[in-house]
Amino acid sequence: MEMNFAFPQIFVTGLLIFPLVLILFVIHHFSNKRSLFIFSEAKLIDNINVSRIGFRKFIVYSLDIFVIFILFLALGRPQYPITLPVSGYSVGIIVDISGSMMATDFFPSRIAVAKDVAKIFINKLSGNFEACLVTFNNNVFVNQPLTSSKEDLLLSLTKVDADYGGTAIGDAIMTTLAVLEGSQMPHKVIVLLTDGENNYGIDPIQAAQRARDKKIPIYCIGMGTPSGAYIPGIPYPVRIDETTLKEIARITGGEYFWGNSPSSLKKIYSNLAEKVGKVKKNQDISSIFAGIALLFLIIKIMLNALFIRSVEI
């Protein structure tokens, strides 16, 4: 259970004194049991089932201890993260169109698969949203400014194609941040797909720090196979710079995903479409535990009343 506390020191205090409460309970229990035999008349003892009384008292005291523990837990103000839809959000969709995206290890090509999965992502966007489409090689292109029209986004996507050139991940992020500044939506996010490593423009880590300052998470998707891909004119396989992509995601509070096949990329984009329009918030659930404590306190009072009645002669 993923839970944290607004006042963890109170809960920790409860945990620390819990063993002391148990010790006092044991001392009190055996002290009362010995007193029953010392001060009670033999005739009275004959009429009382001592073992039954001891068991009932054990139940009542156990409830006392449980209630104390739950109350300390409630006083710690437990928080449970829940996912809620945001009132409005804007998405920067970034797609790598550098030369390596012409590789055919993804059939019919990397760029064709990238466009297909981006279509899935766009079609699954829901609620009050707007999005832009940005592509890059060593240059950056705003193919579609911010729009709430899925048709416009999909039309812009059909015109995208890979071309020779380098990989300017940092520049693509900075350009997308500039586009998102024009949005009035309260929640903003960037989804970045690339199959290479940055070799042009601004350092991607510097761009990620700028996104963090603006509280814009970046979900990075590395596209490629473990062996990399050969493209015409480059005598070595092109591989993903996973280290940089993971760091971008970590700095901005996003996530990194590795797409090593068309099916895995479809799954990634489908899941992201469900995630970008929502945000996690900590919900105070102390009232639930306070209610549980009250319920068991009532049970304890009822059992205590029955216990007292049972020892009447």
The domain spans of the chain are 4-80+283-310, 87-276
- Selected residue with higher pLDDT from 175 and 14: 175
Q: How confident is the model at residue 174 (pLDDT cuts 50, 70, 90)?
A: very high
Locate the DSSP E strands across 13-128: 78-85, 89-96
Q: Which of 46-50, 161-165, 267-271 has the lowest mean pLDDT?
A: 46-50
Answer whether residue 29 shows pLDDT above 50: yes
Q: How confident is the model at residue 185 (pLDDT cuts 50, 70, 90)?
A: very high
Cα dihedral: 285, 291, 294, 295 (round 10): -130
Give, as one character, the DSSP assignment of residue 142.
Answer: E
**pTM of the predicted protein model:** 0.70
Tell me: the pLDDT tens digits for 101-131? 988 889 999 999 999 999 999 999 998 999 9
Beta-carbon count within 10 A of 35 CB: 10
Q: What is the mean pLDDT of residues 192-210?
A: 94
Q: What is the mean pLDDT of residues 121-150?
A: 96
CATH superfamily of 87-276: von Willebrand factor, type A domain (3.40.50.410)
Cα gap 69→177, rounded to integer Å: 49
Cα gap 64→58, rounded to integer Å: 10
Tell me: the pLDDT tens digits for 275-294? 888 877 777 888 888 888 88
Query: What pLDDT score was predicted for residue 289?
Result: 82
CA geometry: angle 284, 255, 138, nearest 5 deg: 145
Q: How confident is the model at residue 312 (pLDDT cuts 50, 70, 90)?
A: very low
Cα dihedral: 12, 14, 19, 24 (round 10): 160
